[in-house]
Amino acid sequence: MRPLRLPILCAAAALAVLAQYGRVPERGMDDAPLPRREAEFHFIRLEYTDLPQFHRGWGRSSRDGMGSGWWLVDWPAADNHFTTGVERLTRIDTGDPRHLRLTDPNLFDYPWIYATQTGWWGLTDAEIARLREYLLRGGYLVVDDFWGPEQWEIFRQTMDRVLPGQPITDIQESDSVMHVLYDIQEKDRTFIPGSRHLRRGPGGVIQVVQPEGAAPAWRAINDYRNRMVVAVNFNTDVGDAWEFADVPYYPEPMTALAYRYDINYIIYSMTH
Q: How many helices (H) and strands (E) does the chain have?
A: 5, 9
CA distance 182 to 124: 37
Mean pLDDT by runs of 10 across the 272 residues of the chain is 44 33 38 82 96 61 56 93 95 96 96 96 97 97 96 97 98 95 92 86 80 90 97 96 91 93 96 88
The DSSP symbol for 50 reads: B
CA distances from 254 to 5, 28, 204, 238, 246 (A): 33, 21, 19, 9, 12
How far from chain centre, in Å, is Cα 49?
18
pLDDT at 95: 96
Q: In whole angstroms, give the CA distance from residue 262 to residue 20.
A: 18
Q: Which of 20, 8, 31 is nearest to 259 (CA)?
A: 20
User: Which CB contacts under 8 angstroms, 24+ apart, belong to 85-88?
Assistant: 85/18, 85/21, 85/242, 85/245, 85/259, 85/263, 86/41, 86/43, 86/263, 86/266, 88/15, 88/16
Q: List the beta bridge partners of residue 222.
A: 228
Residue 2 pLDDT? 45
Q: What is the pTM of this model?
A: 0.84
Question: Residue 56's pLDDT is what?
Answer: 62
- pLDDT of the residue at 58: 42
Q: How many CB atoms lie within 10 A of CB 156?
A: 15
- For residue 71, give the nearest of 80, 84, 83, 62 by alpha carbon: 62
For residue 36, the one-letter residue type is R
Please state, in angstroms and rounded to a whole number, the distance separating the CA atoms of residues 156 and 215.
17
In this predicted structure, what is the pLDDT of residue 171?
96
> What are the structural domains of the chain?
39-271 (3.40.50.12140)
Which pLDDT score, from 0 to 100, does residue 24 have?
Answer: 31
Residues 245, 81 contacting (CB under 8 angstroms) = yes
